[in-house]
Chain A
Amino acid sequence: MNRLLDTESSLLLIERIACIGVIVSSIEWWGIAPQLSNKGLFSWDVLKLRRGGILLGPLGRLVDKVFEHPVVLFIPTARLLLASWLVLGVQSAVMRAVMIAALSAMTRLLYVRVPLGHDGSDQMASLILLVSAIGRSIPSPQAKSFAVIFIGLQGCVAYAAAGWAKRSAEGWRSGALLQKILTTSTYGAPVIGRYVGRRAFGLLSKGLLTWQCTFPLVLVLPERLAYLSLACGVVFHVANAALMGLNTFVWSFIATYPAILYTRGVAHELVQALWTRITV
């Protein structure tokens, strides 16, 4: 048995960590609630004009009623309540499946109401909730296992894609782009440039690219190296939260780690079974 946790325990842990991120995100939406009003940046009056399509008639009036401030605040409220309940623990399998599906639907609804302004942590949280809801809803013994493996592989693809896309730019390889990003006010702090030299940015950038590009190897590396790679991930996300303000990435990306470890276990079992078959 190469798996640290069984399927159900892995899925529970993934959901709980992702739900902590949903709780933080929902409270943050409440923190900027006035911006969802018709005088705010996320005004439904103007966001509904996307693609020039406005729903008319009774359905349009209903959508307007639901998406206008303050009624729209039911979305972050429902997300907050559902996620809190899921973190605290719902024992019934049916109830948990229903709540995860409801939380996933609320998260999708938020995307419909506010199509812009979401980041990668929202993408990952939304994906985890949807896949988890599918895994829990389908009456098959393998459904949950497939869901966990899918989340684990998406985590690996996420890091590798970010790494390989950066690798194609000379500025990333030299560290110049990392320095420029971290010295903006939006995703860093201008003061960082005063204390960290270009050479240090170059080393940091090379290290980041190497770690991200080779991240999927975590599935086949020896146990200690796999844990070391995941520990680098934790440090990376905490540093991003502190330096870049990307706080919710910590929860939604670390939520994939139990899935990555589970997938790693399954991969090792498959290799062992194959080896036994060949050698016996």
Chain B
Amino acid sequence: MNDIIDALLLIFFSAWLIATILGQWNAASHRRERFPWVRRYDRFGLIPTWTFFAPRPATTDIHLLYRDKLAVGAMTPWTEAIVVEPRRFLHIVWNPSKRQRKMVSDTVGALFRDLSVYSSGAKRGKRVGPLRIPKDFHTTWPYLILLHYVSSLSRLPGCAATQFALFRSGGDPEEGGAEPQPVFISALHTL
């Protein structure tokens, strides 16, 4: 009986390991997906992605900002919703803020993936740019996560509506780094 259990366990772990190895090709691929079925059938998230920061890592900082429209009609200046904490020596053992940073990074990644899907679905010849929001895009999950967060921030009374934006900063340090540029601006939403 033990031999049968051992054999089944060996098959199970071997299949899992092979699926893990095949799954890395998807994550590492520059062009087309290889073995897409590996992740398609991974309903429980058992296949890890080990290709950290590769092949194309994020080499700029993304900032989540928001501004409000006051009841009198004026707009407030853009304010950073989450300020990236400067690197400290303590981070070697304790760094809770990395969760928020990663959450924003994952959400922004998902937002741009959704945006590219919307863009490819747009009428031929009428490409949708990152600063022009496609119709119904405000109902997508990443958009709602960011909108919900900035809407929930405490603010002074008299704000009628809010909007958020994603700015990209950084770039090649030898070229002095790029000035922050807006890469996405949401619509105005009533508070």
Contacts and interface: CB of A to CB of B under 8 A. Distances in A.
Interface of A: 24, 27-29, 31-32, 35, 38-43, 45-47, 49-52, 111, 114, 116-120, 123-124, 127, 130, 134, 138-143, 146-147, 149-150, 153-154, 157-159, 161-162, 164-166, 168-169, 172, 177, 179-181, 183-190, 193, 198, 238, 241-243, 245-247
A150 B17 contact: yes
Nearest to B81: A41
Contacts of B100: 32, 35, 41, 117
Give the contact-size bracket for chain B.
Answer: 35 or more
Given A150-B16, A185-B61, A186-B58, 5 more contacts: A43-B152, A164-B28, A166-B55, A169-B55, A241-B91
Contacts of A189: 86-87
B170 A183 contact: yes
A146 to B, nearest CB: 5
B180 to A, nearest CB: 12
Interface of B: 2, 5-6, 9-10, 13, 16-17, 20-21, 24, 27-28, 30, 45-46, 48-62, 82, 84, 86-87, 89, 91-107, 110, 141, 144-145, 148-149, 152-153, 170-174, 177
A261 to B, nearest CB: 18
A32 B149 CA distance: 14
Nearest to A197: B174
13 contacts: A28-B98, A41-B145, A43-B149, A117-B103, A119-B98, A142-B6, A143-B9, A146-B9, A161-B51, A181-B59, A185-B61, A186-B101, A247-B98
Contact of A123 (B49, B56, B170): B49
A133 B164 CA distance: 44
A135 to B, nearest CB: 9
Contact of B105 (A27, A140, A186): A186
Contacts of A24: 93-94
Closest 7 A/B residue pairs (Cβ): A117-B103, A165-B28, A180-B59, A31-B96, A165-B54, A193-B173, A165-B51
B141 A49 contact: yes
B173 A190 contact: yes
Contacts of A124: 48
B56 to A, nearest CB: 7
B118 to A, nearest CB: 16
B61 to A, nearest CB: 5
Contacts of A143: 5-6, 9
Given A138-B5, A140-B6, A154 B59 contact: no
